[in-house]
């Protein structure tokens, strides 16, 4: 999609140029002569913070997780029964814009170049009097050989709001209290990260104890070598027990 839509559009300078680059006809599409010849790299069309040549950006979402895919499949079957046609959003991309004219051009290019399996205009007041989801153009396109991808055409400011609200969306769709207890607002270190970090620190402590033991034996600076060595070895034994306990936690043992 980047090569077939985004790059040609960002390199074009007029609506006619965009249509020519994307292989779409502007006849009967943009009827106002002003728009046919408007300079697209004018600052009012470009993306905020861009160099003046970026009219659209793509954001490719991560593939839907296995757990979420199963949950959504189950929800779809429960809601629609035999009418459920399966997941269409395993692969996702969002086109981001600052201006409705550029959004319109990309929409025209996509529906011309790809087979459309679903389309919702969430900007329509007639259909969406109130918004339960961010307003956008939502499509399912076939990239070829039945490979469906979810496509959203969205304005930058709305995308920013969507990002902020997604945490609360996770709370709303949580299936049980246990899910809520998971870290939502910040990425917390995982148990494995914690385990690896603490074990590394404990190993360092054990090595340090061994070095102290060796130094004390060599220097003969303590009154009771046997007692000192026994103490250090007991400390190492406790450290090893702690390391074993942490290792068991990582595989779900008690």
What's the pLDDT score for residue 21? Answer: 80
Q: What phi and psi, each to the nearest 5 degrees, are found at residue 97? A: -135, 165
In this structure, of 101-105, 166-170, 218-222, the range with the lowest mean pLDDT score is: 218-222
Please compute, for residue 238, the number of CA atoms within 13 A of its CA located in the half-sphere on the CB side. Answer: 8
Q: What SS3 state is found at 117?
A: strand
Task: Compute the mean pLDDT over every residue in the chain, rounded to the nearest whole number.
Answer: 72
Region 185-209: what's the mean pLDDT? 56
Length of the chain: 254
What's the pLDDT score for residue 224? Answer: 58
What angle do helix axes 15-22 and 100-113 make, rounded to 10 degrees? 20
Q: What SS3 state is found at 85?
A: coil
Region 85-112: what's the mean pLDDT? 84
pTM: 0.58
Give yes or no for residue 14 having a pLDDT over 60: yes
Where do the H-state alpha helices sit in the chain? 7-11, 15-22, 33-37, 66-80, 100-113, 156-172, 177-180, 191-219, 225-249
Q: What SS3 state is found at 15?
A: helix
In this structure, of 46-50, 71-75, 237-241, the range with the lowest mean pLDDT score is: 46-50
List C-alpha distances in Å: 75 to 138, 173, 226: 20, 11, 68
Specify which residues 97 forms β-bridges with. 155
């Amino acid at each position: 999609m980047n090569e077939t839509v985004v790059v040609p559009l960002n390199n074009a300078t007029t609506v006619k140029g965009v249509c020519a680059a994307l292989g779409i006809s502007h006849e009967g599409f943009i009827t106002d002569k002003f728009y046919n010849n408007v300079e697209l790299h004018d600052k009012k069309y470009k993306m905020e913070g861009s160099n003046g040549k970026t009219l659209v950006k793509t954001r490719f979402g991560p593939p839907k997780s296995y757990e979420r895919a199963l949950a959504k499949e189950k929800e779809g079957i429960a809601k629609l029964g035999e009418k459920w046609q399966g997941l269409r959003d395993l692969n996702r991309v969002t086109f981001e814009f600052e201006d409705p004219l550029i959004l319109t051009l990309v929409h025209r290019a996509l529906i011309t170049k790809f087979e459309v399996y679903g389309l919702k205009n969430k900007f329509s007041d007639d259909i969406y009097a109130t918004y339960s989801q961010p307003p956008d153009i939502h499509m399912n396109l076939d990239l070829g050989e039945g490979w469906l991808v979810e496509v959203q055409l969205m304005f930058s400011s709305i995308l920013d709001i969507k990002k902020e609200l997604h945490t609360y969306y996770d709370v709303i769709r949580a299936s049980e209290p246990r899910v809520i207890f998971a870290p939502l607002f910040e990425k917390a270190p995982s148990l494995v990260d914690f385990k690896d970090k603490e074990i590394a620190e404990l190993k360092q402590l054990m090595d340090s104890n061994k070095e102290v033991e060796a130094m004390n034996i060599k220097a003969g600076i303590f009154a009771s070598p046997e007692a000192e060595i026994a103490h250090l070895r007991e400390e190492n034994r406790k450290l090893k027990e702690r390391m074993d306990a942490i290792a068991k936690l990582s595989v779900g043992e008690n």
